Structure formats: structure tokens, C-alpha cells
Amino acid sequence: MRKIHYGWWVLFFSFFSLLTVQGARLSFGAFIVPWEESYAAGRGTVSFIGTLSFIVYGLTQPLVGKLIDRWGVRRVLSYSALIAGIGFLLTVTASTTWELWAWFGILASIGFGGASSVAASVAVTHWFNEKRGLALGIITSGFGAGQFFIVPLALGLIERTGWQAASLTLGGILVLVAFPLLLIFLKNRPSDMGLQPYGGEPTAQETPKTKENLEETGPPFWRHRGFWCLILPYSICGFTTTGLMDTHLIPFAHGHGFSAAVTGTAVSLLALFNVIGTLASGHFADRWNIRWMLVTLYAIRAVTVFCLIYTHQAYLLWLFAILFGLVDFSTVAPTTLKTTRYFQAKSVGLVLGWLSFGHQVGSALGAYIPGWLYDLTGGYGAAFIFSALLLGGAVLFSFFLPDLRTVPKIKTESLAN
């Protein structure tokens, strides 16, 4: 019997870290209405907790890349899960929204930022030389799997036993399950176990022949069009996914009179098709033109967000969840793969950290602006129109991604300076 390469176990536990930690983060939308009722706060005030969370998450991303270089993926992912869990547990002690800002918006969000796709993507980069696009798709699907399992769990617990029980449960999963498993079973690099990456090490003759493996000479990364044509759409991606939908879809559904069962089904469908779309995008990113993939994905997302304005019946909400789920996190794998091809692997953690920072800035704005527009207009229509227009911009930026054969050589060593 052929032995399973340990890289697949690293991939599994990286996926598990995103499922549990990011699933807990994505459950924020389920807590909005209960927190409004418990603390007599407005939608904008509670939404700002999510905004603060995204800001903290984003600010941690460049630092996460450096911490990974110093401490390794294993310690960063495991201890981040622990911090996130402690933050969740402490929310039950909050007596004001200020304390929620501290425990969820700051402490838990530091953990969310550490156990992010940046760390998991670096793990894949270290452990996989073949099937890297597929591996990136699998770990990214951890976000959708978290939506599928953790968010409905939070919704059900909140409906039956209250939001405090939901917070204790999610915090307990992170502290008592995720933290020890990640600490024990994750490994930083194949060399730590006397192994080679899956697919073997590239030979010295092969490396310079790879068109997209740019040498570490020339101007710094931020002076090249390719970087901006990745980070700007990725920021809009954050605005429309983790910002807009993961924060406001559940309150939107409640505001339209949909029951908890209908809303939970929509969230589950979105999560299920999110996993399908993410796995498919990772598979095809190894085979298709990434520029056209991103153009198509952002265009489809723009249409689905605009159509949500006219969603007033349960079957339309479910149809939206299916279509949006297919293109929700499916941009992550091709964006990450494109980045690893632009920059040398030893600097990719820091570059991905900056991209993730841009994503979280977009997420922060996507959490707050729709809540502010809701208080201003009494509905989400203006927010959906604004988001669809932003996605049109993402289509244009993605279209202008440069051909890697024409991009000047990039000086990645300047990233650490």
C-alpha cells in the first residue's frame, strides 16, 4: 500500500484551521440581531464591531507573513486559533458594546488574522510543487465549509438557547479542539521530517524556465501593474463577500420576513456551493488563463448581487445563495496562485499578507457602509447597487492584469525592508 505523503495531512489540518476559525468569524452575521436586542444598539453600531474586526484582521496580515518566516506555520496557526477562541469566550462577559468591540473586534480578530488563508497558503507553497492550485482551492474551501457547518450551528444555538451559548460553544471548539490538534499535527516544512514537497524539489534547470517564476532583481513589487491589478479587485472581493454578504445577508433575510429555517437553508446552500466553486476554481487555476477566470468570476458576482435587490421569495433567496456561492471565495485560489507565480516563494508570505490586508480593508468597508446605508435609507438596495458597480471595477482591473512574459523582473527582497 502506497504511503500518503504528509503534505496531504498538512493540507487537511490547514483546511481544518480555516473551517473552525474562519467559520467562527463568518458567524458574526448571526449575532447582529441578538446583539442589537441585548444592548439596545442600532445596526450601524453593531456593524462597526465587524468593521473593527476586519481592520484588526487586515492589519495583522503583513505581520503574519513575517511571523511565519520566524516561527513557522504550525505555531502561527495553532496559537491564533487559541486567541480567537479566548476572544469568543470572553464575549459572554460583555455588558456594553464597547466590551464586544474589545473581545470580538480586537482580541478574537487577532486570532482570525493569524489563522488566515495567508498562513495556510504558505503551508501549501512549502509542501506542494505539484497540484498547488488544487491544494490552494482545497484550503480556501475551508471558508465555505466553515459557513456550512459553523454558521448554521451558531444560528441554531442562538434560536434555541441564546447567543451566549453559541459564543461558548464556538469558543470551546477553538480552544479545546482546534488548538491542540493544530499544535500536534501541523509541520512547517517537508525538511522538518526529512521529506521533499509533494511532486519533489524543482531542479536548478527547471526553475529559470518557468515563465511566471520571476527573478529577485529590478524594482520593488509595488511599482508593478500586476500587484495593483491583483490587490484592488481583491479589496472589492472583500467588500462584497466577507464584508457585505457574510455580515448582512442574515439581517437582510430577517428583514424580509424569512424564517430562521429559510435563512439557515440559504446560508447552508451558499456555503455548500462555495466549497464546490472554490474546489473547482483551484482545479482549473492550474489549467486555465487566470486573468480570464478572474474577469468571469467578478462579472458573475456583480450580476448576482444586483439581482438580490429583487429577491423577495424563499426560492429566489436560495437561488441567489447557489449562484453567489459558486463565485464567492472562488477568486482566492487563482489570485493566490497568480501571486505565487509573480514572486519567489521565500517572500510570498509577506506579499500575500499585503494582499490579504487589502482584502480586509475592503471587508471592513463592506461591513460598515451597508449598515450605514441601511440606517440612512431603511433598506439594502443602495448597498447592493454600489457593490455591483464596484464589482464592475474589479472586472476591469482583472482584465488589465499583465502578461507575465512582459512584466519586468521584480525585486522581492525589498519586501522585507
What is the overall mean pLDDT for the chain? 84
Q: Do the domain assignments include residue 1?
A: no
Burial of 211 (0-12, 13-18, 19+ CB in 10 A): exposed
pLDDT score for 382: 93
**Residue 324: C-alpha distances to residues 144, 261, 318, 343 (Å):** 12, 19, 10, 30
**Residue 232: C-alpha distances to residues 54, 276, 361, 367, 398 (Å):** 16, 25, 10, 17, 9
Expressed as residue numbers, the domain containing 290 is: 6-416
Q: Which residues lie closer than 8 Å to 218 by C-beta, 6 or more apart?
A: 408, 409, 410, 411
pLDDT band of 214, cuts 50, 70, 90: very low
Residues 380/252, Cβ–Cβ less than 8 Å: yes
Q: Do the domain assignments include residue 235?
A: yes
Q: Do the domain assignments include residue 341?
A: yes
Burial of 200 (0-12, 13-18, 19+ CB in 10 A): exposed
Tens digit of each residue's pLDDT (9 = 90 or more) over 56-90: 887 887 788 778 878 889 999 999 999 999 999 99
Q: How many domains is the chain built from?
A: 1
Q: Do the domain assignments include residue 205?
A: yes
Taking residues 246-257, report their average pLDDT. 86
pLDDT score for 345: 47
Taking residues 182-186, report their average pLDDT. 95
CATH code of 199's domain: 1.20.1250.20
pLDDT band of 344, cuts 50, 70, 90: low
Q: Do the domain assignments include residue 203?
A: yes
Per DSSP, helices labelled H in 174-313 are 179-185, 225-238, 246-255, 260-285, 290-307
Q: What percent of the chain has pLDDT over 70?
A: 88
Residues 279 and 283: their CA atoms lie apart, in Å, by: 6
DSSP 3-state assignment of 354? helix
pLDDT band of 279, cuts 50, 70, 90: confident
Q: Do the domain assignments include residue 168?
A: yes
